[in-house]
Amino acid sequence: MKSVAGENTDLILKGEKVHVQTEDWADNGYILVSRVFKHGSVIKTFKLPYDKINQVQIDEYRKTALQKLHQFVIEKLYAE
């Protein structure tokens, strides 16, 4: 299974710039991973294992799950 394209978003939270990067780690553990960076360092990590994704073998389903994870992380950051 090949990886699907990731998502990247820059945000300003409480006056500070953070970067959210969500990737498909098909070659490294079969998980979707969102990392939140601040000043170049990872400050939070969120993981979604493939076994939690319906029909994970279909790229479109995996891409949708990746986009939903990315949006979930952004919403969680704004809610903090």
Q: Dump pLDDT digits (tens) for 23-78.
A: 999 888 899 999 999 999 999 999 999 999 999 899 999 999 999 999 999 999 99
Local structure of 38: helix, strand or coil: strand
Task: Indicate whether 1 belongs to any domain.
Answer: no
Total tally of structural domains belonging to the chain: 1
pLDDT of residue 29: 84
Task: Indicate whether 39 belongs to any domain.
Answer: yes
pLDDT of residue 9: 99
CA distance 45 to 78: 16
Task: Indicate whether 24 belongs to any domain.
Answer: yes
Structure tokens at 60: 């479109």
Task: Indicate whether 2 belongs to any domain.
Answer: no
> Which amino acid, residue 31?
I
Task: Indicate whether 19 belongs to any domain.
Answer: yes
Structure tokens at 76: 């969680």
pLDDT band at 16 (very low <50, low <70, confident <90, very high): very high
> What residue numbers bound the domain in which 50 lies?
7-79
Residue 1 has pLDDT above 80, yes or no: no
